[in-house]
Amino acid sequence: MIDWSRVDTVLLDMDGTLLDLAFDNHFWLEALPGRVAERHRMDLPRARNHVLSLMRAVEGRLEWYCLDYWQRLLDVDMVALKGEFTHLIGFRPGAEAFLQALNRAGKRAVLVTNAHHGSLGLKLRHVPLAGYLDATYSSHDFGYSKEFPEFWDRVQQRDGFQPRRTVLLDDSHRVLAAARDWGVPQLCAIAQPDMGRPPLSQAPFPLIRDLAEVAPPVAEGVSD
């Protein structure tokens, strides 16, 4: 699935790729509509429809991922509300073993995420992720989400990775398509971003169920 002989840098999404998307799905589909219903005296179905309609209006754009934007729009402290559900933050199966294998094989592990810094910081405090990473980049540092070619231009300029020696793992097919069109040759999707929901059986990109199953062999990299 991944030709490790042609990979120096592994670009990794966070939510739904390394971390279980159950946290984010619960937040956006349950917790946030519930808080909106409380604050604005709506019934829950109406609040959920209101939030979903607002999300659809900015889907894929930087605003979709921006906690400051949603806090202004909904009058909800987004980071504080996320902090009420940190027990749902955790690695997907095989993710930590995969990161350890990347480190042992001498592959660069680079996090590329659309997560706002408020959400990113919260998650990094609750999972031992940062220690495995060679670099971390949020789309909010560049003014474009990963769905846009400008993101890939800017993160490559800052990081210096060689596109032809890079693989991207992401649960978003829109992001994978954007990276493919920009020039990343090796791309893999995640079959089950939310471990509480059924896995995908097909996708326009190769599907990974357990990250540990596609980890690089140490013999092809640099041993400890």
- Would you say residue 73 has pLDDT above 90? yes
Question: What does the pLDDT read at residue 218?
Answer: 78
Question: Closest Cα to residue 136, out of 16, 11, 5?
Answer: 11
Question: Is there a single domain that holds both residue 135 and residue 32?
Answer: no
Q: For residue range 126-148, list pLDDT tens digits in order.
A: 999 999 999 999 999 999 999 99
Domains held by the chain: number: 2
The arithmetic mean of pLDDT across residues 197-203, rounded, is 94
Question: Is there a single domain that holds both residue 80 and residue 94?
Answer: no
pLDDT band at residue 224 using 50, 70 and 90 as cut-offs: very low
110 sits in which H/E element: strand 108-113
Asked if 197 contacts 180 with a C-beta cutoff of 8 angstroms, the reply is: no
Going by their DSSP bridges, the two strands 186-190 and 207-208 should be labelled as: parallel
Q: Which two tokens stand for residue 223?
A: 């041993």
Question: Is there a single domain that holds both residue 72 and residue 169?
Answer: no
The arithmetic mean of pLDDT across residues 56-76, rounded, is 96
Using a pLDDT cut of 70, give the percent of the chain over it. 97
Beta-ladder partners of 34: none
Give the E-state strand segments of 3-67 in sequence order: 9-12
Question: Is there a single domain that holds both residue 207 and residue 97?
Answer: yes
**Structural domain containing residue 44:** 23-87
Among 36, 65, 87, identify where a domain stops: 87
Question: Is there a single domain that holds both residue 197 and residue 156?
Answer: yes
* Full-model pTM: 0.94
Question: What does the pLDDT read at residue 223?
Answer: 40
Question: Is there a single domain that holds both residue 94 and residue 187?
Answer: yes
Question: Is there a single domain that holds both residue 193 and residue 106?
Answer: yes
The number of C-alpha atoms within 13 Å of 111 and in the hemisphere containing its C-beta is 26
Among 34, 59, 87, identify where a domain stops: 87
User: Mean pLDDT for the chain?
Assistant: 95
Question: Is there a single domain that holds both residue 82 and residue 126?
Answer: no
Q: Which residues are CB-neighbours of 124 under 8 A, at least 6 positions away?
A: 130
pLDDT band at residue 219 using 50, 70 and 90 as cut-offs: low
Question: Is there a single domain that holds both residue 37 and residue 64?
Answer: yes
CATH number of the domain within which 13 lies: 3.40.50.1000
Asked if 43 contacts 29 with a C-beta cutoff of 8 angstroms, the reply is: no
Question: What does the pLDDT read at residue 92?
Answer: 97
Question: Is there a single domain that holds both residue 40 and residue 106?
Answer: no
CA 3 to chain centre: 22
Q: For residue range 8-53, list pLDDT tens digits in order.
A: 999 999 999 999 999 999 999 999 999 999 999 999 999 999 999 9
Question: Is there a single domain that holds both residue 62 and residue 164?
Answer: no
Question: Is there a single domain that holds both residue 50 and residue 115?
Answer: no
Question: What does the pLDDT read at residue 222?
Answer: 44
